[in-house]
């Protein structure tokens, strides 16, 4: 079946359908990871986006039930150069194409995803549409232009859990994870470090969180425009100084906004598992997993109260911060990775130390 990916600027990519049939709009972005497509598909941070993988062959190790990062995919569409029909992995339960069909995700293959990535790098991320039913190019371009985009949209409400639940019931440290679209591996990493984890909906208030008597609070990753999620920003503002905080990705942006900073939309975002970040405290460089289209403005933070801890070596944007007085820190990238690399897992140990120090006081 023929499929078309159309961008709002009139650029057209014609290919073949290998997932569900239908039509969907979203912001078109690219991911430079060579592996980990299953984790990409199930990362809630991709809500509202059509994701193109730059690596040319995707799907060769299939889909398995163990590597999900959420209960289901939230992205709008998936674009690849070639979708492997041959699945070679002992854990695989189905092919990528069968998974997309089962989950009703539209997939397109046979397009030049590297040309698409180069175009987005030059022109910037833009709205698009992926369709198997409307093959009229002018019609698709009009639909792409009329679609909502990401700026000003609160997509957290679409992916957060509906009620509080316990991830695990044992652990020395009581941790509350504020779920803005959390990846499962954040919970796995906390549980592996002797943490008992409660996952709470994004609209949970600071009072309700503190009533759980946590030793620390993790602010999760998530999709959409951080400036639109004002209720989370207010919750974080009220938690600062009362309990150790650790923000990841959107959680980093929430902490930055709560500390009086500002956020802005990147031209084409950072998505992939090969982004170099320098820890300004040690001058060490980490290779990191990233997935974000917005960023905390480097010069908008009060550096009398906030220490800038990490910097992106590709474009110089802010990747980490720490409050100078209170135990609150965050990073823009994903220390839980999944799929790797694992250079940044030390940040979970830092969070444990913050909680241990707070318990002593």
Spatial distance between the Cα atoms of 356 and 204, rounded to a whole number of angstroms: 25
Residues 6+ apart with CB under 8 A from 328: 240, 241, 244, 245, 247, 255, 322
Residues 6+ apart with CB under 8 A from 207: 238
- Using a 10 angstrom Cβ sphere, with 0-12 exposed, 13-18 middle and 19 or more buried, the burial of residue 282 is exposed
Spatial distance between the Cα atoms of 236 and 254, rounded to a whole number of angstroms: 7
* 307 noted as active-site residue: no
Spatial distance between the Cα atoms of 342 and 331, rounded to a whole number of angstroms: 14
* 334 noted as active-site residue: yes
* 161 noted as active-site residue: no
**Can you count the helices (H) and strands (E) in the chain?**
10, 19
- Find the catalytic residue in 8, 109, 336, 354: 336
Q: Give the pair of three-digit tokens for residue 30.
A: 């690219």
- Find the catalytic residue in 252, 310, 334, 354: 334
- Find the catalytic residue in 249, 275, 292, 354: 249
Residue 171's H or E segment, with its range, is: none
Q: Which residues are catalytic?
A: 249, 334, 336
């Amino acid at each position: 079946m023929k499929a078309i990916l159309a961008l709002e600027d009139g650029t057209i990519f014609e290919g073949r359908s290998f997932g569900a049939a239908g039509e969907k709009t979203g912001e078109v972005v690219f991911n430079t990871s060579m592996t980990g497509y299953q984790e990409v598909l199930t990362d809630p941070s991709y809500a509202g986006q059509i994701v193109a993988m730059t690596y040319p062959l995707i799907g060769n190790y299939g889909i398995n039930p163990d590597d999900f990062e959420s209960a289901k995919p939230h992205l709008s569409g998936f674009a690849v150069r070639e979708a492997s029909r041959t699945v070679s992995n002992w854990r695989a339960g189905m092919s990528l194409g069968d998974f997309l069909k089962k989950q009703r995700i539209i997939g397109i293959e046979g397009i030049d995803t590297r040309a698409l990535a180069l175009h987005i790098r030059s022109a910037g991320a833009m709205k698009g549409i992926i369709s198997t039913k409307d093959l009229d190019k002018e019609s698709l371009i009009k639909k792409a232009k009329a679609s909502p985009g990401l700026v000003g949209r609160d997509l957290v409400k679409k992916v957060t859990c509906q009620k509080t639940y316990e991830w695990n019931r044992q652990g020395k440290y009581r941790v509350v994870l504020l779920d803005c679209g959390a990846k499962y591996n954040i919970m796995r990493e906390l549980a592996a470090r002797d943490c008992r984890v409660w996952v709470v909906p994004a609209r949970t208030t600071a009072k309700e969180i503190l009533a759980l008597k946590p030793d620390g609070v993790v602010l999760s990753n998530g999709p959409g425009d951080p400036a639109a999620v004002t209720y989370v920003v207010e919750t974080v503002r009220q938690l600062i100084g009362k309990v150790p905080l650790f923000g990841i990705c959107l959680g980093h942006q929430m902490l930055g906004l709560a500390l009086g900073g500002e956020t802005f939309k990147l031209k084409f975002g950072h998505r992939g598992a090969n982004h170099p970040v320098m820890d300004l405290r040690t001058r060490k460089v980490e290779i990191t997993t990233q997935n974000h289209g917005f960023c905390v403005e480097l010069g908008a933070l009060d550096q009398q109260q906030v220490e800038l801890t990490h910097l992106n070596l590709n474009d110089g944007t802010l990747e980490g911060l720490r409050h100078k007085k209170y135990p609150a820190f965050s990073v823009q990238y994903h220390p839980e990775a999944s799929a790797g690399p694992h250079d940044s897992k030390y940040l979970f140990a830092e969070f444990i130390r913050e909680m241990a120090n707070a318990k002593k006081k």
